[in-house]
A = this chain, B = another copy of it.
Amino acid sequence: MKTEATPKEKLFQKAARLFYRHGYRAIGVDTIAAESGIGKMTLYRHYPSKDDLIVAYLKNSDEIFWENFEQITKNAATPRGKLLAFFDSLQEYVTTPACYGCPFLNVATEYPEPDYTGHQVAIEHKQTVRARFRQLAKEAGAREPEVLADQLFLLMDGAYMASRMFGAKNPAQNLAGAARTLVEAQCGPAE
């Protein structure tokens, strides 16, 4: 009784995993169909094109990101604590074998043309994250919230890329410490 998943769900999960691990261009629809055990026509019945499947994966990744973000930050008492909790959690994740970087950075790298749909979805996601950082930085009393937000943003994406390039043992083992230093420089030492 393990599989009550619909063909569409099985397909999507397999596609998501393959895209994330091996890249969007490296994985073809035949591979996705074969690995998920469903017919190719069923794939195209649910997703009119491979690009639609990619976009669906990105939108799903966006949802998961924010669910995770809220889950992780909801127990922190202060905006400052929310920022630090996020970077603690991110450091833990990106030093894990399950991490293969960031789906949005990956798609933007593989499809660098800005008018490609997947690239646009990636930009939207990152801009939203950046805005959230700004909001939290402001609430945390940063002298220059936009500056702090951008600095944390660079750290985040650097950590994702470190994971994709080096695997689990990568320089992001010092991510959270860097975030803390930047926050303290802008907001003062912990209350």
Q: Once the chains are docked, how many angstroms separate the CA of A150 from the CA of B170?
A: 9
Copies in the complex: 2
Q: B153 contacts A155, CB within 8 Å?
A: no
Q: Are A175 and B158 in contact (CB under 8 A)?
A: no
Main secondary structure of the interface of A (DSSP, over half): helix
Q: Judging by beta carbons under 8 Å apart, are B165 and A126 in contact?
A: yes
- Cα–Cα distance between A182 and B130 once the two chains are bound (Å): 20
Q: Which residues of A contact B (CB under 8 A)?
A: 21-23, 25-26, 100-101, 104-106, 108-114, 119, 122-123, 126, 130, 146-147, 149-151, 153-162, 164-167, 171-175, 177-178, 181-182, 184-185
16 pairs, CB–CB < 8 Å, chain A vs chain B = A23-B109, A26-B112, A105-B109, A108-B165, A109-B110, A112-B164, A114-B167, A119-B165, A147-B174, A147-B177, A151-B178, A151-B181, A154-B174, A155-B158, A158-B159, A160-B161
